[in-house]
Structure 1
Amino acid sequence: MKNKPPYRVLVIDDSAFIRQFLTRIINQTQDLKVIATAADPLKAMEILKKTEVDVITLDIEMPNMDGLQFLKQLMHFRPLPVVMISSWTQEDSEMAVQALALGAVDIIAKPTLGLRIGMEKLKDEIITKIKTATQARVGRFPSSPKVASPPLSVSDNKGLKVTTDKVIAIGASTGGTVAITEICQQLRPNVPGILIIQHLPAMFTTSFAASLNNTTRIQVKEAEDGEQITSGLALVVPGDKNLTIRKSGAKYLVKLGPKLDVSIYNPSINHTLHSVAEVAGVNAMGVILTGMGNDGADGLKAMRDNGAYTIAQDEKTSVIYGMPLRAWENKGAAKQVPLPKIAEEIHHWAGI
């Protein structure tokens, strides 16, 4: 059972300006209150020993202990929702993906230039993600990546370049990177082509795709415009793009477009699912995973109406049971499935 508001926030950052800024905007927000701040993780550990906390904001680079090491210990000994707020760059974006794998609920990139003005522009995003984190279930994250099936030889392992006659579209938001990783680690290398629409900033989707590719038996990469969807291949939609599909003979090809002005979600799950519904029809499967909001619900309903098989993650295994609930309530999902069983459901539908 979740505590009632105001939700207590612990701010951990070695920058006095960031601590003061976060304290100000959080305390100005109804239902949130900064209960304490810490300049490094060791001080935060002392605070956690004597203070009840509902959610944590956490930097990466700090004295005495880095944020990832602290996050790993926190999730092992006292799991709490964590929003990472750090100065990520394209070069170190893999650390952000690692933070999500360790159990962080979400990530926010501090501006690298013009910190004061940049942080003000991020105010709404920061508050929204902290509020979402207060509703998150944490504590069921794997301590290290593992592949469920025995490894294959390298030649058999990645991307069986076979035209797929079926398409699987998987949409997720908060908590989705861990859920998608768990599913992909169980998938067989002859699975039909997959589209992954995960709400992530553009600088992180390349690293997320690389992380999946390194821990699964299928090939995973960021989608490129005009690329063919093939068996054993999962394409991650870039964070600053939107993806639709088209058919060319027996082939399914992807088309990348810019962000949508009409959608608050980018990449938009609905946008891709509506395209899959129209182009692939009965030859498609749609999956909606954990996340806040309703992105994907309408698109999944369109897929189901056009004959696709559609499922949503169940409440018990969702970090945030928002998007799956909306997909279930509007009859977009034909079935709710626990996360550990979703890969099996995909295999059964694909007949493999």
Structure 2
Amino acid sequence: MKKKPPYRVLVIDDSAFIRQFLKEIINQTDELEVIATASDPLIAIEILKKTPVDVITLDVEMPNMDGLDFLRYLMKFRPLPVVMISSWTQDNSDIAVQALSLGAVDIVAKPTLGIRSGMEERKEEIIKKISMAAQAKVNRFPLPVEPVGASLLPPVHQGPTITTDKIIVIGASTGGTVALTEICRELHPNVPGILIVQHLPAMFTPSFSTSLNQIARIQVKEAADGDRITPGLALVVPGGNNLTVRKNGAKYIVKTGPRLPHSIYNPSINHTLHSVAKVAGVNAMGIILTGMGDDGAAGLKEMREKGAYTIAQDEKSSVIYGMPKKAWENEAASKQVPLSKIAQEIHRWAGIKN
């Protein structure tokens, strides 16, 4: 049987050490091979004109053109999977979220101290994310825009003054930030309360929540312990934490907790879905979006068994058809839906007419 050729990697970083380090660890694998490196995006553009490339690693701060400007150019003229590898901090985490919204498949944080030892510790994460990204489907991404007439939109729900007996839970991983942006942009202001479980490191979920709040007609915020689930409000589970839903009379309350020692995913989609299945039953809707792995399949299965309406994103519109595939094969999802139709499916289930 003929061996599959390795995925071709282009490394773009202004640090000679990072370029050499990435080249060495990538070339130690059988499935990846660095075919070129570039110290800035302008050099990378020239390489791309004459060299076939399957996946790119990209820094943000570089001479001549920064990483975000290059990403905009790339996604407009030659879309390719990109893993952002940069020195993210709490202060610039919004740049990482912006990179994901522009079409980057994933992000890796460079260490801010002890660069060599820190990069050594991240070797496995880097290889895993590049390998996964190389298999992703990437389309041309239009530049993010504000909703037309945003200032004239109905006011969002500002506080937990209304109770609801319906809950929507959306789980996502790789490619999920873009998918969630598209869904939230279309949601009606009176949609039932939503929980969003997106696999993201803790430093990025506040910025991601803010970015969703800016484009949506509903209110979006990072979940805090004790928050109520109410119409017109979406709560994003904090990175590195987990969220359990509890019933208090007619109200649904969220309980945030630490990492689960038995789970490789934190936040865990399964954990939240299992809790919703127990307290909401037929009054819940579960959605699994694009992502690698199987997180969410078991929890969605329990939701369906308790009478909830469950769907998964279809293969064609998924960046990575991993989690939705598992949910479908596991008979956890009753239906597969294209990304462009998911908001419409939510409205139909909730009885909302646009």
Q: Do these two structures clear the TM 0.5 threshold for a shared fold by scoring above it?
A: yes
Deviations 1:56-106 (A, max 9, x none): 000000011100000000000100000000001101110001000100000
* Deviations, residues 132-152 of structure 1 (Å, cap 9, x unaligned): 10110111433223537x647
- Tell me, in whole angstroms, the C-alpha distance in 2 between the residues paired with 1:5 and 1:164: 54
> For structure 1, which segment, 160-169 or 310-319, has the greater mean C-alpha deviation from structure 2 after superposition?
160-169
1:94-105 superposed matches below 5 A: 94-105=94-105
The aligned length equals: 349
Offset of residue 156 of structure 1: 2.2
Aligned to 2:324: 324
Paired residues of 1:83 and 1:105 also in contact (CA < 8 A): yes
* Distance in 1 separating the partners of 2:91 and 2:203: 9
**Percent pairwise identity:** 73
Q: Give the secondary-structure state (helix, strand or coil) at the position aligned to 2:295.
A: coil
Deviation by residue 1:19-43 (Cα, 9 ceiling, x = unmatched): 1110011000111000000010011
1:117 corresponding residue in structure 2:
117
Pick closer, same or farther for the CA change 1:140–1:331 going to 2, 3 Å. farther
Partners in 2 of 1:101 and 1:229 — Cα distance?
A: 26
1:339 aligns with 2:339: yes
Segments of 5+ residues of structure 2 without an aligned counterpart are none
Structure 1 residues 194-241: Cα deviation after superposition (integer angstroms, max 9, x where no partner): 000000011000000000000110000000001111100000001010
Write the distance in 2 (CA, Å) between the matches of 1:159 and 1:268. Answer: 27
For residues 146 and 103 of structure 1, the distance between their equivalents in structure 2, rounded to whole angstroms, comes to 17
Aligned to 1:71: 71
Take 1:342 and 1:145, find their aligned partners in 2: how far apart are those partners?
20
Matches within 5 A, 1:160-199: 161-199=161-199
Q: Give, in angstroms, the shift of residue 165 of structure 1.
A: 1.1
Paired AA for residue 215 in structure 1: I
Per-residue CA deviation, residues 305-345 of structure 1 (Å, 9 max, x unaligned), is: 01000000000100001100000000000000000100010
Q: Alpha-carbon deviation of 1:157?
A: 2.8
The equivalent residue for 2:251 is: 251
Q: Which residue of 1 aligns with 2:265?
A: 265
Report if aligned partners of 2:7, 2:33 keep a CA contact under 8 Å in 1: yes
TM-score (norm 1): 0.97
* Alpha-carbon contact 1:159-1:218 (below 8 Å) kept: no
Tell me the equivalent position of 2:47.
47
CA contact (8 A) 1:158 1:217 kept: no
Q: SS state of the match for residue 321, structure 2?
A: coil
CA distance in 2, matches of 1:91, 1:233: 26
Is 1:156 paired with 2:151? no
Structure 1 runs not aligned, ≥5 long: none
- Alpha-carbon contact 1:147-1:186 (below 8 Å) kept: no
CA–CA separation in structure 2 for the residues paired with 1:145 and 1:307? 38
Contact 1:9–1:55 (CA<8 Å) still a contact in 2? Answer: yes
- Measured in 1, the distance between the counterparts of 2:126 and 2:347 equals 38
Counterpart contact for 1:159–1:230, Cα < 8 Å: no
Root-mean-square deviation (CA, aligned residues, Å) is 1.4
> Residue 141 of structure 1 aligns with which residue?
141
Residue pair 2:314, 2:338 contacting (<8 A) in 1 also: yes
- Report the equivalent of 1:128: 128
Scaled by the length of structure 2, what TM-score is found? 0.96
Specify the alignment match of 1:234 in structure 2: 234
